[in-house]
Amino acid sequence: MAAVPTSAPPAGPRRSQGARNRLTPGRLLFFALFLGLPLLVYVLFVVSPFLQAFYYSLTDWRGLSQAPRFIGLDNYVSLFQDPGFRRALANNLIYMIVLPTITITLAFALAVLVTVGGDSRGRIQGIRGATIYRVVSFFPYVIPAVVVGILFAFIYSPNGGLLNGILNVPLGLFGQEVHIGWLGDRRFALAAIIAAVVWSLVGFYMVLFVAAIKSVPAEVIEAARIDGAGRLRLAVGVILPMVRENVSTAAVYMGILALDMFVYVSVMTPTGGIGKSTDVVSRLLYETAFTSSQFGRASAMGVVMALLTMLMAVIVLFSTRERERR
């Protein structure tokens, strides 16, 4: 039996497909406007300043000389030999670990309470007055960081500060008083600044997690409740895995803030605290550049922090993706 010859595909569609892939002036203009222009802006305002900072970090530039002397990696070597820089970097790492952990944990717990933390019977709802809690908890976020720093500096004041006043209420019954300088004591200064930052940001991340939890299908939550899942198991075992992307994004943003902390530290402890107990690299960078006029050394600090920030973001995002694959 003779094989039936197959007919070749028509040439018309091929020509039309090729015509669609042809670079016409209109397509070139489109790529130039919507791809080339944003890429140019990114290179000019992000990549170029970073490369310039890296170049100046290899020199002894003092901010005024037109031809700074090239010194190689001397700035980086002297940085890591400087106990002040190592102390500031250690404080940044402490902030990077503690701040996201406390803030995200509190924000997620509050978000669960105001979304699914209500009565376990009937429809899924948050606790009573959930709407009021959302609005009130968001108030601290709209206050500028400078104002938050000034506010908590007054709260932590050893003479007439609100915190000492509250502590003196029960102690006054025994004829005792405390006058603790919370920001001037190495034991408490770091924790005091962390408490101020958590207070100002936890409401924002709570609202972020509320929006994420609202996107979880109600059938999933209802099925978990029918299976007998308690509130803790529902939050950790059901809701948390489904909003992991939002949690990782929040962790990256909090990590970036923790590696900065310039405003909070500069306002609450302008010189970096007693014994530099609260100092951070960003404040030290500003002092090195604009007080000591060592712009090459300050640029080296900026490069180190930029690389550390990118490393932190990559670790968080890739660890989240790896958990999703598992």
* Cα 111 to Cα 14, 187, 272, distances in angstroms: 55, 32, 34
**Position 234 confidence tier, pLDDT thresholds 50, 70, 90:** confident
Amino acid of residue 230: G
Per the structure, the complete domain to which residue 256 belongs is given by 82-325
Quick one: pLDDT at residue 287? 94
Supply 316's token pair. 């968080």
Partners of residue 70 on adjacent β-strands: 59
Q: How many alpha carbons lie under 13 Å from residue 44 in its C-beta half-sphere?
A: 6
- What mean pLDDT, rounded, does the chain reach? 86
Quick check: is 269 in a domain? yes
| Per-residue pLDDT tens digits for 71-106 | 999 999 999 999 999 999 999 999 999 999 999 999
Quick one: pLDDT at residue 20? 58
* Structural domain count of the chain: 1
Q: What angle do helix axes 295-325 and 48-57 make, rounded to 10 degrees?
A: 130
CB atoms within 10 A of CB 211: 13
* CATH number of the domain within which 248 lies: 1.10.3720.10
Quick check: is 65 in a domain? no
Q: Kindly report which listed range (236-240, 276-280, 286-290) carries the lowest average pLDDT score.
A: 236-240
CA 81, chain centre distance (Å): 28
Whether the predicted pLDDT of 236 surpasses 90: no
Quick check: is 116 in a domain? yes
* Cα 67 to Cα 8, 27, 59, 225, 301, distances in angstroms: 70, 44, 9, 70, 21
**Position 118 confidence tier, pLDDT thresholds 50, 70, 90:** low
Whether the predicted pLDDT of 1 surpasses 50: no
Quick check: is 15 in a domain? no
Partners of residue 264 on adjacent β-strands: none
| Per-residue pLDDT tens digits for 126-157 | 777 777 888 888 889 999 999 999 999 999 99
Quick check: is 164 in a domain? yes
Quick check: is 32 in a domain? no
Quick check: is 69 in a domain? no
Supply 73's token pair. 């990696």
The beta-strand segments (E) located in 35-75 are: none
Q: 73-78 — which CB contacts under 8 Å span 24+ positions?
A: 75/296, 75/297, 75/299, 75/300, 76/300, 76/304, 78/297
Quick check: is 19 in a domain? no
Whether the predicted pLDDT of 19 surpasses 60: no
